[in-house]
Each structure stands twice: as C-alpha cells, then as structure tokens.
Amino acid sequence: MPIDPTKHADWEVAEAAEKNMKTVYELAEEMGLDKKELLPHGHYVAKLDYKAILERLKDRPDGKYIDVTAITPTPLGEGKSTTTIGLLQGMGKRGKHVMAAIRQPSGGPTMNIKGSAAGGGLSQCIPLTPFSLGLTGDINAIMNAHNLAMVAMTARMQHEFNYNDEQLAKRKLKRLDMNPRNVQMGWIMDFCAQALRKMVIGIGGKMDGFMMESKFDIAVSSEVMAILSVATDLKDFRERMGKIVVAYNKQGNPVTTEDLEVAGAMTAWMAGAINPNLMQSIEGQPVLVHAGPFANIAIGQSSIIADRVGLKLSDYHITESGFGADIGYEKFWNLKCRYSGIKPDATVIVATIRALKCHGGAPVPVPGRPIPAEYGEENVEWVEKGCENLIHHINTVRKSGATPVVCINAFYTDTKAEIETVRKMVEAAGARVAVSEHWLKGGDGALELADAVLDACDEESNFKFLYDLDVTQRHRIEMIAEDVYGADGVEFSSEALQKLKAIEADPELGKFGTCMVKTHLSLSDNPALKGVPKGWKLFVRDVLIFRGAGFVVPVAGDIKLMPGTSSDPAYRRIDVDVETGKVKGLF
C-alpha cells in the first residue's frame, strides 16, 4: 500500500514506492521493445535506442498526442509534471496503452527553491534520486559540449593575439579575427549562481588567456539544449551544432563552431544524450525523460525525439510544456509542432485553487517562506476573480485550434465551493473541466481527468499556427504579445530594433522560429502583475540568434538567463544516510 502523502514528504513517498519498482527489463517487455533497443543504466533507468525503435515501427500509426500546460503559475508552480504523471496513471487505470514524456530537471531549482520536478504525492516519476541528480548525464553532456565551444573560442583568441599570420599558418590555423566585444556565448553551469552573471576572464599573463568580459548562464538555457529539444535525428543534430554562433568577427560576420572546428567534438559529447531516458511512474507506467525545463528562458519542451518514440510505442502519448500556456504552450504550438510536424489531439491546462487565489487578490507566495494562511481559508471571490487568468489561457489554446481540457489540480485543503466555482466558470466558457486528486490518490484520483481527455481526443482538431514563416520577426513578436499575452503593443529598445532590422534583411534568419524570453509569473513582462493585466506594452530589450536551433530569441523585460539562489535553498535539507547510502530531503 502506498503511504499517505499528507503525512510524508515526497521523497519518503518515492522511497516507499521504489521498493516495488519494475526493472527496466520488465518495462521493456511490457512496452514490446527488442532487447537491442534497451540501453540499461543500472536496473531501473535506461536509455532507448530511438533510431532502432523508429525504424522498426516506421509503419505503425502514431498514437493520440496530448500536451500538458498550465495557467500562469505561482512562484511554486502549478503541478504540470504531477498532473502529467497523474493523467498517465489515470489513463492506465482505464486500460489504455499510454506513455508520457517529461523534461529532465535542472540542478538549479532542485538545489534552490522549486524542487526536482518529478511530480509529487502519489503521482511521481521514480526512482527519485537519479532523476533529480543528473540521471544519465544529459545535462552534464550539454555543459561539456557548450563549454568546449567556449574553450575553443577563448583559446583561438589568445593564439591569434600572441601569434602573427605566419605563426598561425604553421599551426594550421587561420585568423578568425573575433571581436571580444561582440561575443554571443557565455559559459554555462547547472546551478543558480548570480555571482557569475557578469565577470572578467583571462586575468594574468599572455599565456593565461585573452582578457575580456564574459558570463555564465544556467545550463538548460544553452542553445545545445534547444537543439536537443528540436533535433529529429543525429544527422540533423550534427548539422545544427555546426551552425551555433559563438561570436562575430570585427567585420560583423558570424563565427560558428564549425569555423572553430569544434562542432564535431561537441557532438561527440552529445551522441549518447540524444537517446531518451526511460523511467516509470509510481504505478509502473513508462515515462520518457528528455530535454530540459525553463520555458521562460528556453524552449522548455520535452524532446521531439522522445515524443516520436512515445507516439510509436503507445496509443496515447502525453507530453509536457513548461510554465503557462502563454510561453510553454505557445512554444509547443508555434515551434515544436512546426519542427516535428506532429499536431496535438488535446491540451490539458492545469490550474490550482492556490494560483487562482493568487491571481484574484491573495498575497503572492514568496519562495522559501511559508505559504500565507489565506491560502488555507475558503475565499470564493478570489477564486472567481482568478479565473480570468484561466479563461485567458483557455482562449490561447483555442486560438491554436486544439481542444482544451482544464484540470483542477486538487489539494486536500480546497473546498467544494471553490472547486464548483471554477467548474461553472470553465463550463460557461465552453471548455471541458475535470477535478483530479492524483497527488493524493494516484491514478484512482485522476479517472475524471482521464475520461475528459479521452473524450477530447475523439474531437476533431483544427490545429493551425499563429503565424506563417513569411511574417516578419517584428510582426510575429507583436502577434504573440497581443494575441497570446494580451498586450496593447510592443516597445523595442534601440538595440533590439537594430538587430531586428538586420535579421529581417537576412532571408535565412527571417524564416527562423521566434522563441520568446519572458517572465513566467505574469502574462505581462512584469512578474508583479497578476490576473489578466490591462493597458500595458511588452518591452523587448534585446534579440538573440540561435542559428543552430533555428531560433530568433527576443528577450522581454528584466528576465535573466542565470537565476539566483535564495537565502533558504533546498540543499540545506538534502543529505545522505551514511549507513544505507540513500539520499533524503529531495522534493
């Protein structure tokens, strides 16, 4: 019997469930995998040979495709991963052949505030410890690949500074003439390290590197992670890796990883990481884990490869998009689906009473501090007001032509009156709604949600993109801001405008997808504005170019690509039992 999640921490629930885990060999047999398609990493985690699976099943029709997104979350999240696992378990209880794909957690939030993103309560992905602490090394491979490009760039700058053209020629190097004031990349690490957002490197003598300003971003914001998310196979991955721009030369032309002759070595670090990881839910259904989080500063999607594998191996495949529908689902809609050619049959929008109260006027929760007492008290007025944000996201999903299903991710502190308020308002807006108690009851608590999603999958989808690729990047930004965020328009910094003009003059860049960077805590670019803000304009301060991923990346507001660690981070409560070697305190 599973233990009571109201009386035990998530890591304790996971530890109890892990005593009855299936081995990856048992999972593989249930999934119908050939032995050669399973690449074990111990008894309970494996990689899957995506190429062999897709080749063997190339003539098998795809299953139904379901995306999970959310309303604008509180700083503590809305439970998308928990709901994804809960829905997987609920559909399994209904006898469906179902799989899910979730994103690998970053060490930044795992060791900081938000936790490991394995789900929660009785709807978790297990085993928890490897999931939370590096898994099979994908993010480590991304860090090595990305930072190798930085090593190649900084070493070349040093050598070009110290040697003349004849000396470079003897070393079979040509002068790339990179401009140290126009470097595109920085270093990455998988922690929240605000002290490294801006720094000077190369301090010392001429053999200690070229002195210049540099920076660290968090690992999952790397273009290498973006490429892992959207690549369709290893050949596509290798071609994209060679297009990554590390810097611009003094004439303003891009210098790529291919120019630095490092793209092949970078791909070598990633050759194993391109295979998705296999884990399981607490109730034993297969879960694929691949690519990374943070749809506010990255694409924030589980990978195309994982989804293609899941769609071939199951009748229903559930995938996950980061944060709210304004950023996570918008990128799923206009980027991931465009790159993959796969269209969703249903989209689940996760909402909690807690977040609806936050959007309706309750005190905003502060990460690392106790949740205000008002969240444990009934307040139908706050919930009703907060539903404006939920309905906004319903309308966003509808604009894509997909069928929305609202999941009320229930907490045992929610009241009947609060839940009924949400149900009535969603039904009045013409959308399906289900209450799900998967956190408390696992698959048995998600049966109403499973039924609603199965029903929605039978409805014909009219999926369409928000914009065509012949629309200018500037106009796309305006369309996303106005039609998805609800802005009254867009204001561009002079630097952003200058970059957009150059992008629009380049036929190749004009066809790139548009991957917005914006706070996840508001529909606007101001995280303090809750609900559905009115009378505001999106401020775009910068525009980045990810040539390998094929993205133009507008950066809105004051958001940073390296988060900060709080004064009360999670690592203070994580430890190891020295007798058993088991990790405790993860959540």
Q: Helix and strand tally (H, E) in the chain?
A: 22, 25
Q: Terminus-to-terminus CA distance in the chain, angstroms?
A: 21
d(CA 383, CA 388): 9
Count CB-CB contacts under 10 A for residue 407: 29
- The DSSP output letter for 6 is T
- Whether the CB-CB separation of 128 and 118 falls below 8 Å is answered with yes
**Omega before 344 within 30 of 0, i.e. cis:** no
CA triplet 512, 514, 519: central angle to 5 degrees? 155
Nearest to 519, CA basis, from 556, 547, 553: 556
Contact 221, 515 (CB under 8 A): no
* Cβ neighbour number for residue 520 with a 10 Å cutoff: 23
Rounded-to-integer distance, Cα 286 and Cα 185, Å: 37
Structure tokens at 532: 């559905």
- CA–CA distance, 238 with 230 (Å, rounded to integer): 12
3-state helix vs strand vs coil in the chain, percent to 5 = 40, 20, 40
Instruction: Name the pairing type of β-strands 277-281 and 46-48.
Output: antiparallel
Among residues 562, 564, 567, the alpha carbon closest in space to that of 186 is found at 562
Which residues are the active-site residues? 80, 82, 103, 114, 295, 323, 411, 439
Q: Which among 567, 573, 571 has a CA at the least distance from the CA of 194?
A: 567
